[in-house]
Amino acid sequence: MHRFLGGPPLAVLGRLVMLSILVGVILAAIGLDPWNIVESVRALIVHVWRMGFDVVRWLWRYFLLGAVIVVPIWFLVRLTKAPRGG
C-alpha cells in the first residue's frame, strides 16, 4: 500500500486534501462552479474568447515569471537524482 500510494496513507491523504483545496481556490478564482462544471468551463472559454489576445499575453507573462523559478529548480532536482556510475 505504501509503495502504491507513494508514501504513508495519512501523509498522502493530507497532501491530497491540501492540493485539492489549493486547486479549488484557483478554480473558484477563475469562476468555475463545482456543481455545474461543464457550464462553468463553457462560460470560461466564452469569456476568454471575448477577452482576446490580452489573456494570451497575460498567461505568457505569468508562465515566464514562474518558469524562471520552476525550471531551474526542476533541473537541479533532476541532476541530483540522476543515476550514478555506468
My answer on whether 24 and 59 are in the same domain is no
Query: Per-residue confidence at 85, pLDDT binned at 50, 70, 90?
Result: low
In this predicted model, what pLDDT tens digit does every residue of 1-39 receive, in sequence order?
Answer: 777 778 888 998 899 899 998 988 888 887 777 788 888
Q: What is the per-residue pLDDT for 50? A: 80
In this predicted model, what pLDDT tens digit does every residue of 41-81 receive, in sequence order?
Answer: 888 888 878 877 777 788 889 999 999 998 899 889 888 88
C-beta neighbour count of 12 within 10 angstroms: 15
DSSP states along 26-68: HHHHTT--TTSHHHHHHHHHHHHHHHTHHHHHHHHHHHHHHHH
Tell me the pTM. Answer: 0.46
3-state SS assignment for residue 21: helix
Q: Could you tell me which residues come within 8 angstroms of residue 1 by beta carbon, excluding any fewer than 6 positions away?
A: 9
My answer on whether 61 and 46 are in the same domain is no
d(CA 8, CA 58): 39
My answer on whether 43 and 56 are in the same domain is no
Provide the residue range defining the domain that includes 83: 52-86
